[in-house]
């Protein structure tokens, strides 16, 4: 269901909420790719809600365009929105979602994909969260120079031209605790609605590892 959340600066934005199934074990904030709060991401929310997590997906483009959902074949439009986003505003919106889930569910983890994967790493540096998971996170170079305050797990494709292996290696050198897994895949390998890049085996294994990592951190 859609819910309205308000950041510390007064900005009210949409947030897709998926209630935990069965015994609640904590909260999970999922951060979008450059395409907005897509049906595909809502499906990811359903996957993790089934494991006892209350899930929130903030609409991080709402500061620029309300309810923006970009078709997967129009990446340039999503990239333009991403590049024009105010980093402090984006992090304020993520922080508001984290706080809302903490009030309802206790400990909270953050997971992100692509742009959101980079934001998840940033969240682990500046927010009070249990852990973060980055699926093929981008713009990681900008996070170098700041220590991680929470455990982070990353999932990357060996042929990802958005986040090449050498960038991830630099991150591992700086953050020795950064838990990284590699897959014989490219960028966006976990998005089943993009058949040209989707890798079912890699996606399934990555989600298994992510779920175990998150549930351990929230326990």
What CATH number should be reported for the domain whose range is 2-218?
3.40.50.1820
Q: How is the chain split into domains, by residue range?
A: 2-218
pLDDT of residue 153: 98
This prediction has a pTM of 0.98
Give pLDDT tens digits for 178-193.
999 999 999 999 999 9
pLDDT of residue 126: 98
Give pLDDT tens digits for 54-93.
999 999 999 999 999 999 999 999 999 999 999 999 999 9
Tell me the DSSP string of the chain. -EEEEE-TTS-EEEEEEEPPSSS--EEEEEE--TTBS-HHHHHHHHHHHTTTEEEEEE-TTTTTSTT-B--TT-HHHHHHHHHHS-HHHHHHHHHHHHHHHHHHHSSEEEEEETHHHHHHHHHHHHS--SEEEEES---GGGGTTS--SS-EEEEEETT-SSS-HHHHHHHHHH-TT-EEEEES--TTTT-TT-TTT--HHHHHHHHHHHHHHHHHHH-
Note down pLDDT in tens along the chain; length 219 residues: 999 999 999 999 999 999 999 999 999 999 999 999 999 999 999 999 999 999 999 999 999 999 999 999 999 999 999 999 999 999 999 999 999 999 999 999 999 999 999 999 999 999 999 999 999 999 999 999 999 999 999 999 999 999 999 999 999 999 999 999 999 999 999 999 999 999 999 999 999 999 999 999 999
């Amino acid at each position: 269901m859609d819910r309205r959340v308000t950041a510390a600066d007064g900005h009210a934005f949409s947030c897709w909420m998926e209630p935990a199934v069965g015994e609640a074990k904590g909260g999970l904030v999922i951060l979008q790719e450059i395409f907005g709060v897509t049906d595909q991401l809502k499906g990811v929310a359903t996957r993790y809600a089934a494991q006892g997590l209350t899930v929130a997906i903030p609409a991080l483009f709402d500061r620029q365009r309300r309810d923006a959902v970009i078709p997967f074949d129009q990446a340039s439009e999503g990239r333009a929105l991403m590049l024009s986003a105010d980093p402090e505003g984006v992090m304020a919106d993520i922080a508001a979602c984290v706080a809302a889930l903490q009030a309802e569910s206790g400990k909270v983890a953050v997971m992100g994909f692509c742009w959101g994967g980079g934001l998840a790493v940033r969240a682990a540096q500046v927010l009070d969260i249990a852990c973060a998971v980055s699926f093929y996170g981008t713009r990681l170079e900008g996070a170098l120079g700041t220590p991680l305050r929470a455990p982070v797990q990353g999932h990357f494709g060996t042929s990802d031209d958005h986040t090449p292996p050498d960038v991830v290696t630099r991150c591992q050198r700086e953050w020795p605790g950064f838990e990284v897994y590699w897959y014989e895949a490219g960028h966006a390998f976990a998005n089943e609605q993009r058949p040209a890049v989707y890798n079912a085996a890699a996606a399934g294994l990555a989600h298994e590892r992510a779920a175990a990592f998150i549930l351990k951190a929230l326990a």
